Amino acid sequence: MTTPTDALDPVRAELLRTARASADAVLGRARADAQKVLAEAREAAEAVLARARELGAADGADAAGRERTRAVQDAWAAELAARAEAYAELRARIREGVRRALARGAVPQDRLAAAARALLGPQARVTGAAGGGVTAEVPGRRVDLSADTLADRALNRLGARAETLWGPP
């Protein structure tokens, strides 16, 4: 016994074949589109990651640069503090040396008084200074030839050469 054939079977078969072909084509395009979107997303993610790395490296370099600058400034401040300390010590030693020299009579008090009168005139009032030396005054003018002032003047005359005392040989 044969099954009756329906006249629409060939039409149905063709519609089914066309629908499958169309579905396969749509599925193929969807897969291609998905792969393209996925590839673009991966590419965008890589670009974002690369940019983040660049920014991170730049931030790191900036931070390192700031840290280097701060370290240089700290080192310079420490060096200046050490120089100031060395200068203060030198100044104290020179002052003490001049006081001792004046106390031993290396420069007699009357010679300092004469120098003060030579600068201000014979009417200058000359007095002994604490620590040695003299000061002298006339109205409107004063001369200080005390031990500390004489030491400070000697050190000031050294000027920048004083730095060679604690610099490298």
The domain ranges of the chain are: 32-165
Structure confidence at residue 167 (pLDDT)? 67
143 in the Ramachandran plot: left (φ > 0), alpha (ψ -120 to 50) or beta?
Answer: beta
Q: Which of 136, 161, 135, 159 is nearest to 148 (CA)?
A: 135
Q: Provide mean pLDDT across the span 77-106.
A: 89
Asked whether residue 72 carries a pLDDT value surpassing 90, the answer given is no
Q: Provide mean pLDDT across the span 103-110.
A: 92
2 in the Ramachandran plot: left (φ > 0), alpha (ψ -120 to 50) or beta?
Answer: beta
Structure confidence at residue 58 (pLDDT)? 84
How far is it, in rounded angstroms, from Cα 164 to Cα 162?
5
How far is it, in rounded angstroms, from Cα 53 to Cα 49?
6
pLDDT band at 168 (very low <50, low <70, confident <90, very high): low
Q: Provide mean pLDDT across the span 1-7.
A: 66
How would you class 34 by CB atoms within 10 Å of its CB: exposed for 0-12, middle for 13-18, buried for 19 or more? exposed
Q: What is the mean pLDDT of the chain?
A: 86
Other beta carbons within 10 Å of 24: 10
Return the higher-pLDDT residue of 49 and 149: 149
Residues β-bridged to residue 92: none
111-167 pLDDT, tens digit per residue, is 999 999 999 999 999 999 999 999 999 999 999 999 999 999 988 888 877 777 666
Asked whether residue 56 carries a pLDDT value surpassing 70, the answer given is yes
Amino acid at 21: A
pTM, two decimals, is: 0.59
Q: Provide mean pLDDT across the span 62-78.
A: 89
81-95 pLDDT, tens digit per residue, is 888 888 888 899 999
How far is it, in rounded angstroms, from Cα 16 to Cα 82?
96
Q: What is the percentage of the chain residues whose pLDDT exceeds 90?
A: 38
